[in-house]
């Protein structure tokens, strides 16, 4: 039980509800079907049916769609504690692909497992719904970023959001966090070219706000970066449990 209490997903869900021993037991059962997957090929591909969902326990994943001209749009990045393909397993067909960016550890979860867990532990079901709603709020925020923020604010806002997400699962702080993303990943996620991403990162570093180097994001001036990007983390809903 100690392992599940310290898992990234448990840390994340505890921000919404104080989980009971029974609920932790159900969550532990959802983690039983473990898989190790190497970086590279698709974990889930666009259009795939009869697919399991996954709980990401370690490593990073990107979710993306491929356009008819071959261009890739990254929808989001998944970090430890996130569900992969939760919507597609309930809708029975995946509308986008998932690719491990690093080697990952993930627990495979079938629809029947989820439905049984939801029936047995309604509060856990509410917490997972909260996590899914939070993911949707992030996608909305990314859309606003691509459509309305200039490149500097867009990238700064995105790095701050990742920092908040990493902090929630005990893997980051206002000092910074480890981040395996390349400039190409950031470009595909933010609607920029890799050259433009490089220019923006240099500008933010020269302003003394943030440094992204050697796989690590360092917040040189956290409050200054928040003001620069007008970052308001309210949409991430990380202020503490709503249910006791």
- pLDDT tens track for 2-51: 688 889 999 999 989 999 999 999 999 999 999 999 998 767 665 556 66
pLDDT tier for residue 96 given thresholds of 50, 70 and 90? low
Please report the pLDDT score of residue 52 as a whole number: 80
What is the average pLDDT across 200-215?
Answer: 98
Q: State how many domains the chain has.
A: 2
Highest mean pLDDT among 67-76, 132-141, 161-170: 161-170
* Claim to verify: residue 24 and residue 79 sit in the same structural domain: yes
Write the DSSP assignment of 190-240 as a string of letters: HT--HHHHHHHHHHHHHTTSEEEETTEEEESSHHHHHHHHT--GGGG--SS
* Claim to verify: residue 147 and residue 158 sit in the same structural domain: yes
* Claim to verify: residue 69 and residue 129 sit in the same structural domain: yes
128 is in which domain, residue-wise? Answer: 2-133
Q: How far apart, in Å, do the first and last CA atoms of the chain sit?
A: 20
pLDDT tens sequence across 102-112 = 999 999 998 88
Domain end residue (candidates: 118, 133, 148): 133
Please report the pLDDT score of residue 203 as a whole number: 98
* Claim to verify: residue 129 and residue 10 sit in the same structural domain: yes
* Claim to verify: residue 82 and residue 119 sit in the same structural domain: yes
Please report the pLDDT score of residue 94 as a whole number: 65
* Claim to verify: residue 83 and residue 159 sit in the same structural domain: no
Q: Is residue 58 part of a domain?
A: yes
Per-residue pLDDT for 215 more than 80?
yes
Q: Is residue 242 part of a domain?
A: no
Q: Is residue 77 part of a domain?
A: yes
Domain end residue (candidates: 77, 100, 133): 133
* Claim to verify: residue 128 and residue 141 sit in the same structural domain: no
Domain end residue (candidates: 133, 156, 190): 133
* Claim to verify: residue 49 and residue 163 sit in the same structural domain: no
* Claim to verify: residue 208 and residue 218 sit in the same structural domain: yes
The pairs formed by 9-14 with CB atoms below 8 angstroms and a separation of 24 or more are 9/55, 9/57, 9/80, 9/81, 9/82, 9/83, 11/81, 11/168, 11/169, 11/170, 12/81, 12/82, 12/131, 12/168, 12/169, 13/124, 13/127, 13/128, 13/130, 13/131, 14/241
In DSSP terms, 172 is beta-bridged to: 177
Q: Is residue 85 part of a domain?
A: yes
Report the C-alpha gap between 223 and 72 in whole angstroms.
33
Between residues 27 and 85, which one has the greater pLDDT?
27
pLDDT tier for residue 239 given thresholds of 50, 70 and 90? low
What are the distances in angstroms from CA 231 to CA 135, 145, 159, 160, 161?
A: 17, 11, 10, 8, 8
Share the mean pLDDT of the chain.
Answer: 89
Please report the pLDDT score of residue 46 as a whole number: 58
| C-alpha 163 chain-centroid distance | 11
* Claim to verify: residue 7 and residue 102 sit in the same structural domain: yes
* Claim to verify: residue 17 and residue 71 sit in the same structural domain: yes
Q: Is residue 243 part of a domain?
A: no
Please report the pLDDT score of residue 86 as a whole number: 80
Please report the pLDDT score of residue 93 as a whole number: 64
What is the average pLDDT across 158-163?
Answer: 98
Q: Is residue 244 part of a domain?
A: no
* Claim to verify: residue 149 and residue 171 sit in the same structural domain: yes
Please report the pLDDT score of residue 147 as a whole number: 85
């Amino acid at each position: 039980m100690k392992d599940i209490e310290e898992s990234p997903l448990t840390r994340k869900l505890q921000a919404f509800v104080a989980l009971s021993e029974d609920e932790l037991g159900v969550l532990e059962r959802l983690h039983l079907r473990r898989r190790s997957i190497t970086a590279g090929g698709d974990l889930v591909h666009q259009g795939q049916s009869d697919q399991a969902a996954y709980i990401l326990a370690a490593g990073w994943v990107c979710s993306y769609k491929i356009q008819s001209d071959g261009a890739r749009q990254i929808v989001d990045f998944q970090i430890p504690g996130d569900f992969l393909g939760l919507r597609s397993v309930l809708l029975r067909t995946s509308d986008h692909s998932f690719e491990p960016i690093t080697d990952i550890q993930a627990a495979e979860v079938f629809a029947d497992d989820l439905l049984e867990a939801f029936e047995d532990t309604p509060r856990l079901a509410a917490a997972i719904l909260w996590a899914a709603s939070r993911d949707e709020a992030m996608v909305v925020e990314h859309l606003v970023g691509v459509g309305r923020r200039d490149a500097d604010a867009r990238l700064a806002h995105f790095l701050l959001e990742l920092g908040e997400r990493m902090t929630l699962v005990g893997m980051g702080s206002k000092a910074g966090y480890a981040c395996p993303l390349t400039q190409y990943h950031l470009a595909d996620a933010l609607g920029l070219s890799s050259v433009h991403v490089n220019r923006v990162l240099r500008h933010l570093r020269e302003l003394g706000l943030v440094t992204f180097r050697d796989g690590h994001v360092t917040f040189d001036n956290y409050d200054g970066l928040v003001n620069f990007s007008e970052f308001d983390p309210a949409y991430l809903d990380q202020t503490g449990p709503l249910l006791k």
